[in-house]
Structure 1
């Protein structure tokens, strides 16, 4: 069984703070992109996805929260386009024409957020396993 109580203090601190150090920059990057002209570029670059178009009309141009949620949706679509491409809900040429620098920023933000969430789940599991002892 895993016993976290036997770990050095530094390892415990890294285990607990790691998800926040890794995961929080992702949403912060997306918030930064929303406040810049990158938001308009990202919204105008994809027109073929019907779901994205409907939430652009519902959320776009309003308060910061809705713009940030729309940017998160675009980041997910750009980072993991496989299902949308297979179903014909995204044009492959449109995805290729998406600005490369913005695509990298969106992918970085998505992966940082996902890695932070995975780390948090693993840390929680380790803490629960340590309690069972």
Structure 2
């Protein structure tokens, strides 16, 4: 197994999670500046969105990024938030389809990249001499 970790295949294997996750991060950053205002206007009465906006704000890169990524998770799994009363189902339905689609893709790319990275590090630790 140590032959593998000394090969170019191992380099590609360890680089892959970054190649997968980085586009997701870029998508969230772009949405933070292009679409965040639209997203916030779509959810004027949803408690979760109001709390997140109060917590993170929406002025700097970091706060817009965190706010957009937390709302992307809501776009992916809205049912739990709707059942708890944190989101209004009518507002979730009003989220523009192209924005929701981008949010879901970005979230899954980030999730896949992180998962791959964690598995790769675990494999590296398990196979270390």
TM normalised by structure 1 equals: 0.86
1:45-66 deviation line (CA, Å, top 9, x unaligned) = 1234313202313433421211
Alignment of 1:125 with 2:122, yes or no, is: yes
Q: Tell whether the 8 Å contact from 1:48 to 1:89 is kept in structure 2 after alignment.
A: no
- Runs of 4+ in structure 1 over 4 Å off: none
| Aligned partner (choices 67, 73, 78) of residue 75 of structure 2 | 78
Q: Which residue pairs with 2:14 in the alignment?
A: 16
**Alpha-carbon distance in 1 for matches of 2:66, 2:27:** 13
**Which protein, 1 or 2, shows the higher relative CO under an 8 Å CA cutoff with sep ≥ 6?**
1
Alignment of 1:104 with 2:101, yes or no, is: yes
1:25-81 deviation line (CA, Å, top 9, x unaligned) = 111111111222x11101111234313202313433421211111111111111121
Query: What are structure 2's unaligned runs of at least 5 residues?
Result: none
**Alpha-carbon distance in 1 for matches of 2:104, 2:32:** 15
Q: How many residues align?
A: 128
**Alpha-carbon distance in 2 for matches of 1:6, 1:86:** 52
> Which one has the bigger helix percentage?
2
Summarize the alignment of residues 55-94 of structure 1 with structure 2, pairs less than 5 Å apart.
55-94=52-91
- CA RMSD, 1 decimal: 1.7
TM normalised by structure 2 equals: 0.89
1:9 Cα deviation from its structure 2 partner: 2.0
